[in-house]
Structure 1
Amino acid sequence: MVSVVASRHALGRYAWLVLSPLPMSSTSRTSPSEYEKVNAGYVSWASNCTFLFTCDASGSATLGNIQMVQLLPLFKSPYQRTSQILCGLSMFPYVVLDEEGTKAVFTSYRDGRSVLDLIDVKTAVKQEIESPYVVVENMRAVSLSVHQFAFVGQEIDEGQRVVRCNISDLDTSSPSTSFTTWRPNSNIGQFDSCLASAPQGMYHPKTTSSMSCISILITTSIPGQVLTERSLPVVSAHGGPTGFRLKMVNPIFHILWVRMARRQLRR
């Protein structure tokens, strides 16, 4: 017998199947989320009886797990297959660290930067891993026996690099972590560190008005340079149902808005 785990995007645009030779039983179990109201994805096996997945029931994507005697689809009715899988396999946000499947590292966003958390799969206890990388993507296991994984990381004033992370003393209260750069990006040029600063979070209270508009004015100064126009800030919004939507500032609209604001100030 073959058990099947199936995950579908809430809008029906993505589908993903995972197969495993886990014996079936007569006990029915479903995911703890409501059908078509919560997204679940990135399914993988932590052990022979536990699989991990991400779920945004809390408003932001978090890591979940189910201890199983049977696997059932995460939706209640048949679905039509599509040619595109959930958000692309290269964006995998977590990695299992040990052969027993009891420890995992999950990456999430906080205050405009990536954060790494060491998670106990059984107890759900998490411990933040100090990391210099403000962007962490494409996580992959390297060695379960020595608890190594790799990812594409980016520091504040550096470009993307392939990084290996080694975690020792995994079963202690104070595990040791080290990072090693495997291959620097050959396209990285000289970048003055004074042009970048550490990301800082900004929270705006939820509003019930559909016509609300939030304006953010950031004054920028570069040593030795005089700016003729306001430079474009990089603003990243994350969490909730718009977590994967692209946020962009239209340069033409930005320049016209700045010039109009200056005219108003001169008056």
Structure 2
Amino acid sequence: MSNFIKTISIFGSNKDIKNNIHLLGEKKLAYIHDNIVYIINIEKNDIYIYDIHSSPVYILRHSKLLNLSVTCNFNNYAQANYISIWDTYQYKEQDHIEIKNIFSYDCAYHIFNECEKKRNIQQNEEKHNYILDICFVEELKCLLILTDDPYTSMSLWSLTNTTKPYLCIHTNKNQLTNLSILFNYNNYKNKKSLHINKSIHLDELLEDLTILTYGSSEFYIWSFSFYLEVRINYFSPIYDNLCPCYIITCIYHICDDLFYVSTSNGKIYLFDKYIVI
């Protein structure tokens, strides 16, 4: 059995840090060390370096469908988040997004539970926002970004226009730290077949997107209507089977509308989007 086990030693006794090892496709590993991403081709035993960032990288996400990766760091000099979008094969930057203050962009905004916060956010407010999580929405060729601004906002960025977000959603849920998505592939394919040789407007495709957000023991599910009126269904921590004292450890997408949630007490809950909404 030992003949089939291969050990790769990169930095010897270097201590592991949280989330610094990632899978990039089937045969590549990415190792984050400060501001450098080391890409290891397991099949060829080659190591490549992606060193576009000027400060420690703290987020890496990969899209197998788009052959793209995104890495994020916070530039203390510019007081802004730098999100690099790069080709997984060429290891070259294709584009980037800089976010300092999510309120400074001229885009569509949606605010939930506005009565809970009376604070007036000025467009030119200098406070910077940190990135909490990033998620690829592959079929829409977009990035979904969660920031720790006063409203804990989700912003949707098209990969074809990174100058400003397409849409920004102020959730007013300050415990959120993670993103996950569900996408209705069957409905999406039906739309594509009905619009042969015609482009489908992003507004219409948003109907097929469901956003899952969570943090510690809070869990929210978000769904779009055709006119970008966002419906929210909040079923935790007051949901009967998810106790607030148990931390949500993982959300995993099974198929179009099914996903499971695991908690720190060792239980796994299976959810159907159309039952909870």
The question of a shared fold, defined as TM-score above 0.5 by the shorter chain, is answered with no
Q: Which has the higher contact order (CA 8 A, sep 6+)?
A: 1
Q: Would you tell me which structure has more strand in proportion to its own residues? A: 2
Larger Rg computed on CA atoms = 1
